[in-house]
Amino acid sequence: MNDTHRIVVIGAGYTGMFSAIRLAHRTRRLDVEITLVNPSSRFVERLRMHQIAAGQELAVHRIPDLLAGTGVAFVQGAATAIDPDARQITVDGDRTLAYDTLVYALGSSTDAGTVPGADLHAFTLNSPEIAGRFAERLAEVARAGGAVTVCGGGLTGIEAATEIAESHPGLNVTLISLDEPAAMMGGKARAYLMRAIERLGITLKAGAEVVKVLPDAVELAGGELVHSDACLWTTGVKVSPLAADAGIAVDERGLVLVDATLRSLSHPEIHAIGDAAAIRMPWGRIHGTCQSGMPTAQYTADTIARLLRGKRVKPFRFGYFHQPVSLGRRDAVIQFTHADDTPGRWYLTGRAAVAYKEMVSGSPLMTYRLSKRMNVTTVVSKGGRAIDEPAL
């Protein structure tokens, strides 16, 4: 009889990659087999996708290279189905992998299906390939002195708009936001950010609702047309339907419902992390970011290792620490926060903020390399006591 415990991690984003590498280190003396499944062999640095969109060449990191020396097996393919009763996943529709423990790390992506025409005429930052196609289009528009629209005034939209405006100063860049941009930041940090938007010559349309994306324009509520030779869509989030389709308990958004130890309420052998999980702290729900995702990956790797050793597991605890925002390559603003992600008193700007943001963006890869040899702590334990009840 084979007593090897089979752990399968689906999704090799920031959280899936970290959980697999840390699991390998934490279970190196146990009879464990770890498999990481992902459609692409390229590791995607989502924190830098706006740089690709602006036309910058970034280093390419391959998943097999990042896993080298860990013993983790990599399977390139998309998880297309989960059978929780048989405890197996289907890869690319025709291959099955059995598991004893499943780490569900499929994350989220920008939803371009909420507004007519966005899926047809707008680009997203959902993959390096799509961002690269936008960059090619951007270069054409820049040569013609055309216009670009960025839809979405969240931090991703702001980073994209400022990166584009700095890289292509002759472009007419318009940032369209339903709400006030960066509304989650404190007044002083936000004022600095708004001055940067003005300095870069970005036209801001705040409080504007996009109702349709056309081949050459963005239509706003009320009928106004904003000319657009290229549109970048950064607003709206969707998750994979895989968990819901498998009968795993999910919330109204499709996120896996988990208990205080990030295990599925309906299937405890499944651990959900990052954007894929509905996680509640005493102060409220965690929203998907790399900042919160990496700690869930660390915690889950440690939890699985402890469960395999028959040890007690403490509930997950997390609090936010900062909101780092790049404003092109030469400027940035960092808003430090309370545990619930509301703005605190302190913020950082200018060159110090640029260095800080670069450190944040590069930290996952450094964490993976170090985690092959040691336990690297990424969790920011803030926000008071951990929860004892499941996220509902």
pLDDT score for 377: 82
Q: What is the mean pLDDT of the chain?
A: 94
Does 42 lie in the same domain as 27? yes
Does 303 lie in the same domain as 154? no
Lowest mean pLDDT among 98-107, 135-144, 379-388: 379-388
Does 228 lie in the same domain as 163? yes
Local confidence band at 194 (pLDDT 50, 70, 90 cut-offs):
very high
Q: How many domains does the chain have?
A: 2
Domain end point (choices 319, 348, 374): 319
Give the whole-angstrom CA distance, residue 295 versus residue 322.
14
Taking a C-beta distance cutoff of 8 angstroms, is the pair 233, 152 a contact? yes
Tokens of 131: 């961002």
The answer for 161, left when phi > 0, alpha when psi is -120 to 50, beta otherwise, is alpha
Cross-strand pairs, 336: 322
Residues whose CB falls within 8 Å of the CB of residue 329, separated by 6 or more in sequence, listed in order: 163, 166, 354
pLDDT score for 79: 98
pLDDT score for 389: 31
Q: Which residue's entry shows tokens 């992998």?
A: 97
Taking a C-beta distance cutoff of 8 angstroms, is the pair 347, 186 a contact? yes
Dihedral sign for Cα 242, 318, 306, 77, please.
Answer: positive
Tell me, what amino acid is at 108? S
Residue 376 domain flag: no
Give the whole-angstrom CA distance, residue 76 versus residue 155.
31
Here the CATH number for the domain that contains residue 45 is 3.50.50.60
Cross-strand pairs, 220: 210
Taking a C-beta distance cutoff of 8 angstroms, is the pair 346, 340 a contact? no
Q: Among candidates 83, 78, 104, 73, which has minimal Cα distance to 93?
A: 78
Domain end point (choices 211, 233, 255): 233
Tokens of 304: 């699985």
Q: What percent of the chain has pLDDT over 70?
A: 96
Domain end point (choices 319, 343, 361): 319
Q: What is the pLDDT of residues 176-189, one digit of tens each?
A: 999 999 999 999 99
Lowest mean pLDDT among 6-10, 221-225, 376-380: 376-380
Taking a C-beta distance cutoff of 8 angstroms, is the pair 169, 196 a contact? no
Helix H or strand E encompassing 173? strand 172-177
Give residue 300's domain range: 5-107+240-319
Does 222 lie in the same domain as 256? no
Q: What is the CA radius of gyration of the chain?
A: 21
Tokens of 16: 């899936």
pLDDT score for 379: 53
Does 85 lie in the same domain as 28? yes
Cα end-to-end distance, the chain, whole Å: 39
Give the whole-angstrom CA distance, residue 207 versus residue 259.
38
DSSP secondary structure letters along 177-240: ESS-TTTTS-HHHHHHHHHHHHHTT-EEEET--EEEEETTEEEETTS-EEE-SEEEE---EEE-
Tokens of 17: 């990659």
Q: Among candidates 154, 385, 123, which has minimal Cα distance to 287?
A: 154
Answer whether 0.85 is exceeded by the pTM: yes
